[in-house]
Structure formats: C-alpha cells, structure tokens
Amino acid sequence: MRMSQLYAPTLREVPAEAEIKSHQYMLRAGLMRKSTAGIYAYLPLGQRVLQKVQQIVREEMNAEGGQELLLPILQPAELWKETGRWEDYGEEMFKVKDRHKRDFCLGPTHEEIITALIRSDVRSYKQLPLLLYQIQNKYRDEIRPRFGVIRGREFVMKDLYSFDQDEDSLERSYQRMYNAYERIFRRCGLDTVPVEADSGAIGGDTSHEFMVLADSGEAAIVHCPACGYAANVEKAPCPEVPIEEGERHSSEEVHTPSVGTIEEVCSFLSVEPQQCIKTILYMADGKPLAVLVRGDHTLNELKLQKELQCSELEMADSHTIAEITGAPVGFAGPLNLPIPIMADYAAAAVTDAVVGANKEDYHVRHVSIPKDCSLWKTADLRECQEGDPCPRCGAGLDTARGTEVGQVFKLGTKYSTPLQATFLDQNGKERPLLMGCYGIGVSRTMAAIIEQHCDEDGIIWPVSTAPYSVTIVPVNYKDEKQRAAADELYTRLEDSGIDVLLDDRLERPGVKFKDADLIGFPYRVTIGPKSLQENKVELTHRASKAVELVDIGEVVDLLLSKLASEQPLT
C-alpha cells in the first residue's frame, strides 16, 4: 500500500473527548472515527489490526477443536423469556419491535440462541463435546460509554460455547480455553493476569477474567505477591473478624450538626473511619433491609445480592429512608430499626462504634454492634482491599487496576435446563447439557495493546498486530534516485511477504517521521540522499528507537529475520 492512497487521516491535536492513551491514539493515528457515543467506524488501519487479532484468535480456537459459525445479531424475545433474562438483563439490552410488533433484541451475548440451536440437533453423548465460536458485533446500551472502544455500545467480540456431557469433560473444555487465552494474549503482545471473577449477568459458578494491568483500567483487582493468587475485588473473599472485647463505655447521643459523611463524622468526633459504621438501606425484591459496613470499607452489592438470593436489589430512596428511620439521608443507624439488619463480618465485630442516631444532626457513640444491634445475619459483604489477607496463603494483598480483555465461564446447566437442551447418555438417560462460555473483546484487545505499548510519540505495535510491519520513508520522493530505490525496495518487501507501506507523499520529512511514530509501525526504512550515496538505508526500530545503517541489498533478509524473532512463541 502507498501512503498517498491510504485513507488514514492523522491528527496533531489530542481530541477533547479522549481521556486515555488508547482512545487518543486510535483517533489521532487514523484507526477509527466516532459515529456517536460508544459507536465507532474502523478506518483501514484499524480494520487491519482487528483482522490480525481475529486471525490469532481463529488460529488458537481452531487448534483446540473450535468450529466457527455465525449466529444472528437480531434475536427473538421468546428465547430470552425462556431463561428469564428478558427482564433480568436490564437496560443495557437494545430492544426492538418488528412491523408485527414482535419483540427482538440486538444480541449483547448469545447463550440463548446457541443453546436453542444445539437442542434441536444434538441428542446423543456421541456428538459431544462441542466447541462452537463466532466473531461478530455485540450491542450493549452502556449508561456511560467511555474510553473509546474500552466501553462502547457496539463492539467486536469472539464468543465460544462448549457443550459437554459431564463435569470432567466441562473441566477439560474450560482448561483448554483458559490455556488458549493465555496463548492468544501472549501472541498479541499483551501481558495479562488471569483473576478469579464474578460471573455477573452471564451466570455460572466459576469464572476467570484476563486482565491487562494499566493505570487507566476500569476494574480493581487484588493479587498476592507471595503465592500468585489474583481476583477481582468484587470476587475476592474477605475473612470473618474476631470480636475483640475492650473496655465498655455507655452509649451516648451526640449532636452533630450538618455532619453526614464518614469524613465529616471522623473530623467532628475525632475518631477513625474503622470505628464508624455506615448503615445503608436497600430494597431487596421490594422488601427493605439495612446493611452495615465499616467506614473504611466499601459495600459489595454483588456479594450482598448473592447472599440474599434476590432478583432485584436497589438502594432505598430518600422518602423510604425517612419513613423507616425518621431521619434524612446521612443519619441512619442500626439501633431500634424495624427492618432486618445485615452486617459485614468486619462491621459486626466493632465493639466501640459511632453510628447514626436515626435523628437529624445526631449520632451515637460507644455502640457495640454485636451486643446493641439485633443483627439478622452476618456475612462477607465488602470489597477486598490492599493489605487484606490472601485467602490462599494469608499474606497481605496488593491492589492494581486492569482492563478486562477476556473472560471464561463455567455455565453448567444455567441455560440448558430452562431451554430443555438435553442429550441421551451411555445408559439412554436424558440429561441436560453442561455448558461453558468463553469471550474475548477483540476491539477492546486492540485498545489494550495500545495502552501497554505506547510512548509520548504514539503507538508501538507488536509485530503480530501491527497494521503494517514496515514503512518505507524516502526523505524526498520527488528525487529520482530516492524514488527509484524506494519503489524497488517496496516491491522486494512485498514479494517477500512483508506487510509494507510506502510513504510516497510529497510531504516534509518531519511530517512523515511523526506519522510513522504516531501510527507505530515496528520498523521504518529511511531512504535519504547521504546514505543512498553509499548504497545504504537507515533502519529504525520503533520500540527501542535503535538506528542502524544497512546495505540496501541486505534489508529484506535482515527484516525477515528481525520480524520473525519478534513474533511471540505460541
């Protein structure tokens, strides 16, 4: 490809909407353009990267026995209603009606439709296991699309579904995909950390996320430097806390005018956050309850919902809070509440606490949560945080931020049972299929690569995913000798199978060099008048910025060797 013909409109200024490096560089380097919030058009350079990531994914899925198919994006509501997810999935689902007023959705995921497909054709254990995958667009109406394609409303995803006859077979499928994911991300040049994760709306009881560590990451994770344990903070368990009895003081009501937040309470009463107890009122399937967590901890709503086994969970509104406590928001407390009270393990162990007085502008000091409060239940209800003990070895946990690029799930019979997807086992007995689900955000992976591989000048693509491996930059393409040398080298590189781009634009050298660094081609061959006099060219490695003079006749072989050495081993 010649740069003069390539549609790659680069930008010098950072777009105001772009908050993180990958979003900035994908716009500036001409990889994509915004259509509307959370929806982007991929330009030729971006599409080439997507295709290379997809090819790596295909190769690894096929190597594990995966078979590619293509499922419809437009899905009938009936299937989702059979599993109960038509209402449960929430407002992220794009719902549409056809001309006959029948309900459909734009597929946010494809568990229902793949299970319905299999139930009609797979009847015997002899047809199992099955590994079926697709690469296509998904649609989720994110409440706040951000970070470019990291959290978009339309995105490219690979999803594979496994169908097995028993737990041992499902475990083998799960492990094969887990190992394949490690190879995929390694081949994409990504350093990922597999972490234990919550299954969320997909369901199932076992799940791992593959996280790319980055300061801009959306998710918080904890990891143990001692044993290697890692988990999403929403999944990581927190231990029970023993009650430490100390000197008991009589509780007292204290006037705290206009003091509502934990920070304000600590400052006003000269206490530590761990002495303060937050009382948070929720509605669980329409019924109110109070939840207690320490002031230095964050309530984990996923843990709470699982503990309650409720379908709907939302914070109580200000009217409900006032009706139950007799006080406005900010002064709720656990004493004498007429509703069930749950407490996180750590909160339940505090014996000298500050709590809301259920009275405006008042708090109560010296409250023993285990003795003074009528607790209905105690459980692990908070997010794990730095310094908490590792659930495996007990060492202190570290925290980091990451971006999820893939997730694997053991679904079990979550979908096969309601959709009646069964098979006959060796004894002729009808049993539900055991399923797994394995997703990779292809477009998100492209952004994650940029987050890990960039500098102040632009992107630094790994060879495996670069839109072009080499760019040829003649200093002055008008010059007959430079043009002839550039054209000849371009043909030789193309004939050798190297992805090469010739910058034949009649631009200043500085503009060409800046664009080459911004787009991030792994290697740049510069053809200038001085080096050409010696029949040499400059070879610049984008990642290390190393420059070497190379005989023009040796460039092709040298590049073939360098490019091969930079391809990650599978």
In this prediction, residue 220 carries a pLDDT of 87
pLDDT band at 201 (very low <50, low <70, confident <90, very high): low
pLDDT at 204: 56
- What residues contact residue 469 under an 8 Å CB cut-off, 6+ apart? 463, 498, 499, 500, 521, 522, 523, 559, 563
- What mean pLDDT do residues 260-287 have? 94
Helix, strand, or coil here: 30?
coil
Domain ranges of the chain: 21-189+412-451, 252-379, 468-565
Joined together, the tokens standing for residue 288 give 């109110």
DSSP structure string for 528-556: -HHHHHTTEEEEEETTT--EEEEETTTHH
Give the integer Cα–Cα distance in Å for 189 and 461.
9
Bigger pLDDT: 247 or 423? 423
β-pairing, 219-223 with 230-232?
antiparallel
The H or E element spanning position 23 is helix 21-28
Tell me what pLDDT residue 243 has.
Answer: 83
CATH number of the structural domain 252-379? 3.90.960.10
Q: Which of 341, 331, 235 is nearest to 284 (CA)?
A: 341
Q: Which CATH architecture has domain 21-189+412-451?
A: 2-Layer Sandwich (3.30)
Give pLDDT tens digits for 106-155: 999 999 999 999 999 999 999 999 999 999 999 999 988 989 999 999 99
**pLDDT average, residue stretch 241-257:** 85
Domain 21-189+412-451 shares a fold with domain 468-565: no
Q: Two tokens at 563? A: 């490019």
Residue 444 confidence (pLDDT): 95
Is pLDDT above 70 for 12?
yes
* pLDDT for the residue numbered 205: 67
Structure tokens at 19: 């908050």
Confidence band of 374 (pLDDT split at 50, 70, 90): very high
Q: What is the 3-state secondary structure (H, E, C) of 493-533?
A: HHHCCCCEEECCCCCCHHHHHHHHHHHCCCEEEEECHHHHH
CA of residue 85 relative to chain centroid, distance = 22
Euclidean distance between CA atoms 364 and 256, whole angstroms: 10
DSSP string covering 288-354: EEEEEEETTS-B-HHHHHHHHT-S-EEEPPHHHHHHHHSS-TT---STT-SS-EEEEHHHHT-SSEE
Strands 130-139 and 192-196, how do they pair? unpaired
Partners of 524 in beta bridges: 471, 540
CA distance 106 to 380: 36
- Provide the pLDDT for residue 318: 94
- Confirm if 204 and 109 have CB atoms less than 8 A apart: no
- Percent of the chain's residues with pLDDT above 90: 88
pTM: 0.86
Say if CB 430 and CB 155 are below 8 A apart: no
Cβ atoms < 10 Å from Cβ of 242:
8
Q: Are 25 and 518 in contact (CB under 8 A)?
A: yes
CA nearest neighbour of 383 among 226, 533, 222? 222
Q: What size, in residues, is the chain? A: 570
Structure tokens at 265: 């309470």
User: How far, in Å, CA of 15 to CA of 198, rounded?
Assistant: 35
pLDDT band at 570 (very low <50, low <70, confident <90, very high): low
Flag whether pLDDT at 569 surpasses 70. no
pLDDT greater than 80 at residue 472? yes
| 445 token code pair | 């992976």
3-state SS track over 246-289: CCCCCCEEEECCCCCCHHHHHHHHCCCHHHEEEEEEEEECCEEE
What was the pLDDT predicted at 202? 52
d(CA 442, CA 51): 9
- Angstrom distance (rounded) from CA 379 to CA 307: 8
* pLDDT band, very low/low/confident/very high, at 252 (cuts 50, 70, 90): very high
Contact between 112 and 419 under an 8 Å Cβ cutoff? The reply is yes
Block residue for tokens 């793949």: 114
CATH assignment of 468-565? 3.40.50.800
Predicted pLDDT at 568: 76
Q: Model confidence over 498-526: pLDDT tens digits?
A: 999 999 999 999 999 999 999 999 999 99
Q: Which residues are CB-neighbours of 491 under 8 A, at least 6 positions away?
A: none
Three-state SS for 183?
helix
Mean pLDDT for the stretch of residues 295-310: 93
Matching residue, tokens 């509440």: 337
203, pLDDT greater than 60: no
Six-digit token pair at 237? 């368990």
Average pLDDT over residues 350-365: 95
Q: Let me know: does 61 contact 180? Beta carbons within 8 Å.
A: yes
Cis peptide before 129 (omega within 30 of 0): yes
Structure tokens at 479: 């010059």
Residue 551 predicted with pLDDT over 60: yes
